[in-house]
Amino acid sequence: MRPELVELAQRIVTEAGLRGATDCECVIREGRELSVSVRLGETESIKQAEGKSLGIRVFRGQQAGTTYSSDLHWPAVEAMIDSALAIAAAASPDPDAGLPEASEMGVSAPDLGLYFPSTAMIAPEEAVAWAQRAERAALDCDPRLTNSDGGGFECGEGGKLLVNSRGFVGAVRASNCAVSAVPIASENGKMQRDYWYSAARRLGDLESPESVGRKAASRTLRRLGARKAATARVPVVFDPQTAASLLGHWLDAVSGESVYREASFLTGKLGGMVAARELTLVDDGTIVGGFGSAPFDGEGVPTRRTVVIGEGRLESYLLNCYAARKLGLRTTGNAARALAGAPGVSCGNLRLTPGTASPEEIIASVTNGLYVTQFLGFGVNPVTGDYSRGACGIWIENGSLAYPVEEITVAGNLLEMFRNVAAVGNDLVVRSAVSAPTLLIEGLTIAGS
């Protein structure tokens, strides 16, 4: 982070103190992005930008106020400090509000291998070439791939600086890049679309665009001729992507914010069995190069490794300082700091520990069931765990993938679903901060014709 921004942040914290804040926290974000899309071989769009923004949180005793802006000129910043203080004066005293204790703050590791300057500096022409290669590889796979929603490439970098009045100063910078393809197949007047992408911190770690394009093509082609399935109660095999979406719902449920609000189906279940013994779920914000890694969290607390579920038992919630105080626990270094508002909770790298069965073995173990590859819609109730989502995938008959299905729903309850996990695959695929292997879950309701 540029030294003048560190100076600015420190000046803000000092100035807020002079104007009456008992504590102050300042976050500055700076970033650069390039994203391109191509369609049917031609460049469709190129977008480039740089931006920065500032968030201030002040306390007057136990009352907090926050402001944010993209205007970093000092007169505007002074006005922000004043309005944050005015907001704090109108807020309610909250005994659990406040910055972390000095002893709680720090960084887990000085360098987590998140930043590669050459990846952040890729030129538009090179980006277009990557996107074109991915799209062409997809469309070359089969004559039924007649149209395209495009190939894409994006890269960029983001920096975050966090300074507070209790002495914390932390900066982190990360680069990222991704390549994608979205081919469209058509047969008998019906179209299908699917996609694939690869993402990495460093260009050299991306899957080749040809590999991304071919996977996108095969995912699209296998959907041709999809039909509705009959309404039934069957076992469902979740591929690593749809399994990761389940972890996303579990992340909401283990977040201390939902727990102290009693808006989680896991409220009051700490220490109890909440899942099959085969399930171990670990959050770790310190993995080198991880998509969810950072040396410190949104409040300046070091990130760490937390076993959330150990062999089926709920070992820990994920907590920021506020949720921890509400629950009489200690922060787990999972504070998320958006520019606006009080810190929330997020994961580092949340991963389900892989099992021993291959995905092929898991599919082979199912006589009659669904292999689900994509969900549609938002039918999840985090309070009760009730779950009902639109889905598509491939029907399994006698252990083999038989035919594609669509326009169906998969319904159950998240807690029962984790208790009914019958197999965990050995194929953990890491493409984002939340990752899972293939999962087999018994007793879900499919609604169709």
Between residue 216 and residue 255, which ones bind other proteins under the rule CB under 8 A?
A: 223, 226, 228, 231
Is 48 near other proteins (CB under 8 A)? Answer: yes
Q: 54 with 72: CB under 8 angstroms?
A: yes
Instruction: Provide CB contacts within 8 A for 154, sequence distance 6+.
Output: 33, 34, 35, 36, 127, 177, 178
Cβ distance to other proteins smaller for residue 340 or 402:
340
Q: Which phi and psi (to 5°) does residue 270 adopt?
A: -60, 130
Question: How far is it, in rounded angstroms, from Cα 370 to Cα 396?
Answer: 6
Shortest distance, position 92 Cβ to other proteins, whole Å? 4
Between residue 424 and residue 443, which ones bind other proteins under the rule CB under 8 A?
A: none
Q: 180 with 219: CB under 8 angstroms?
A: no
For other proteins, the binding residue among 6, 46, 109, 169 (CB under 8 A) is 46
Between residue 97 and residue 136, which ones bind other proteins under the rule CB under 8 A?
A: 97, 124
For helices 3-18 and 74-90, give the axis angle rounded to 10 degrees. 40
Question: How far is it, in rounded angstroms, from Cα 295 to Cα 268?
Answer: 30
Estimate the share of the chain in helix, then strand, then coil, as percent rounded to the nearest 5: 25, 40, 35
Is 147 near other proteins (CB under 8 A)? Answer: yes
For other proteins, the binding residue among 11, 44, 282, 361 (CB under 8 A) is 44
Cβ distance to other proteins smaller for residue 128 or 424:
128
Shortest distance, position 4 Cβ to other proteins, whole Å? 14
Shortest distance, position 267 Cβ to other proteins, whole Å? 8
Shortest distance, position 247 Cβ to other proteins, whole Å? 20
Q: b/e map of 410-438 (b: 16 or more CB within 10 Å)?
A: bebbbbebbbbbbbbbebbbbbbbbbbbb
Is 75 near other proteins (CB under 8 A)? Answer: no
Candidate segments 44-52, 130-138, 166-174, 328-336, binder of other proteins by CB under 8 A: 44-52
Query: How many Cα neighbours within 13 Å face the side chain of 56?
Result: 33
Site map (CB under 8 A) of other proteins, residues 312-351, x = contact: ---------------------------xxxx---------
Q: 377 with 390: CB under 8 angstroms?
A: yes
Is 4 near other proteins (CB under 8 A)? Answer: no
Candidate segments 86-94, 164-172, 298-306, 422-430, binder of other proteins by CB under 8 A: 86-94
Is 447 near other proteins (CB under 8 A)? Answer: yes
Between residue 151 and residue 190, which ones bind other proteins under the rule CB under 8 A?
A: 184, 190
DSSP 160-227: EEEEETTS-EEEEEEEEEEEEEEEEEEETTEEEE--EEEEESSGGGSPPHHHHHHHHHHHHHTTTT-B
Between residue 50 and residue 69, which ones bind other proteins under the rule CB under 8 A?
A: 50-53, 64-69
Is 383 near other proteins (CB under 8 A)? Answer: yes
* Structure token pair of residue 288: 């080198």
Task: Residue count of the chain, please give it.
Answer: 449
Cβ distance to other proteins smaller for residue 278 or 442:
442
Shortest distance, position 290 Cβ to other proteins, whole Å? 23
Shortest distance, position 69 Cβ to other proteins, whole Å? 4
